[in-house]
């Protein structure tokens, strides 16, 4: 297992972690100032500043991406909606390519309309079929341009609104069906927040192996957790066995960045961005 205690060589910051404090260009500068050499930005943050400018800024700092957030949301109530989702994923793939991301992270979507509080249908099996078809179609284009897709299984508490892929096993089943050769074009983004509870986590990480493990996200699970979306904890403040899980992914060939992704309405989004980044660095060294 790699020793993180002395540097932040393998730390990446998912830029949602300080999105309430700063615009993306500022986030990049603040990360560079701290020798953080990788980020994972969100499309909406990129769009505010402009992708050309972000691409240039990243180059000037020799900063790489650990992933690009995000494609997905493949489900819809009608053919028009499905087509819009597919077009949007094509654009996401192009943007990821432009920014030289190692993968596009997919939050696959679930019951259409549920995120707005009114599901248009309740058949989660249908959502799963639409997601399968959507990923298959996105994968064709992604292969053409050479952009790996990373399916992110989301915590089951997000199963209605954000993703109907909820376990690593389920994500890997889809990978095996769509990309049996394991050539690196399709894999998973493994986020400990979504998967730490899974009794089959170790077994499925072993199944995933190096070719499927495209991204690794960390934060912590707080007790109590006060919100289903935006109450993630800083590494060390919760109950996730971070070093144990990192050991499992590294034992199976993962050698990439540990990306810190914290959505925290109640705590970290309220603190000065400088403190958040400094704490990410410290906790990366001590707790990740």
Q: Which is nearer to a copy of itself, 88 or 169 (CB)?
A: 169
Q: How far apart are CA 37 and CA 246, in angstroms?
A: 20
Q: Which is nearer to a copy of itself, 221 or 269 (CB)?
A: 221
DSSP H or E segment with residue 59: helix 51-60
Q: Which is nearer to a copy of itself, 14 or 166 (CB)?
A: 166
For residue 172, the minimal CB distance to a copy of itself (Å) is: 12
Q: Which is nearer to a copy of itself, 40 or 75 (CB)?
A: 75
For residue 97, the minimal CB distance to a copy of itself (Å) is: 31
- As beta bridge partners, residue 149 has 104, 186
For residue 61, the minimal CB distance to a copy of itself (Å) is: 36
Q: Which is nearer to a copy of itself, 41 or 112 (CB)?
A: 112
Interface residues with a copy of itself (CB under 8 A)? 111, 114-115, 117-119, 122-124, 128, 155-157, 159-161, 164-167, 170, 196-199, 221, 223-226, 228, 238-241
For residue 199, the minimal CB distance to a copy of itself (Å) is: 5
For residue 148, the minimal CB distance to a copy of itself (Å) is: 23
CA distances from 156 to 167, 186, 234, 241 (A): 8, 22, 21, 19
- As beta bridge partners, residue 106 has 71, 151
DSSP secondary structure code for residue 116 in this structure: G
Nearest residue to 71 via CA among 148, 177, 174: 148
Contact yes or no for 205/168 (Cβ under 8 A)? yes
Q: How many other β-carbons are positioned within 10 Å of the β-carbon of residue 198?
A: 18
């Amino acid at each position: 297992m790699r020793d993180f205690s002395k540097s932040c060589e393998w730390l990446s910051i998912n830029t949602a972690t300080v999105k309430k404090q700063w615009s993306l260009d500022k986030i990049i500068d603040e990360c560079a100032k701290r020798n953080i050499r990788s980020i994972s930005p969100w499309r909406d943050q990129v769009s505010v500043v402009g992708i050309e400018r972000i691409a240039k800024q990243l180059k000037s700092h020799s900063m790489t991406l650990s992933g690009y957030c995000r494609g997905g949301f493949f489900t819809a109530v009608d053919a028009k909606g499905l087509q819009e989702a597919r077009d949007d994923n094509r654009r996401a793939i192009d943007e990821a390519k432009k920014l030289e991301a190692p993968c596009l992270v997919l939050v696959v979507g679930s019951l259409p309309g549920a995120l707005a509080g009114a599901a248009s249908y309740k058949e989660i099996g249908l959502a799963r079929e639409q997601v399968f078809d959507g990923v298959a179609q996105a994968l064709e284009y992604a292969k053409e341009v050479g952009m790996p897709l990373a399916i992110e299984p989301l915590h089951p508490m997000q199963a209605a609104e954000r993703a109907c892929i909820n376990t690593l096993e389920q994500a890997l089943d889809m990978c095996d069906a769509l990309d049996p050769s394991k050539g690196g074009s399709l894999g998973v983004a493994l986020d400990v927040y979504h998967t730490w509870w899974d009794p089959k986590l170790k077994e499925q990480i072993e199944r995933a192996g190096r070719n499927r493990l495209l991204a690794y996200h960390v934060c912590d699970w707080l007790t109590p957790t006060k919100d289903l979306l935006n109450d993630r904890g800083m590494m060390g403040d919760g109950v996730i066995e971070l070093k144990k899980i990192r050991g499992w992914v590294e034992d199976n060939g993962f050698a990439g960045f540990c990306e810190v992704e914290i959505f925290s309405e109640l705590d970290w989004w309220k603190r000065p961005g400088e403190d958040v980044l400094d704490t990410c660095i410290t906790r990366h060294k001590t707790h990740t």
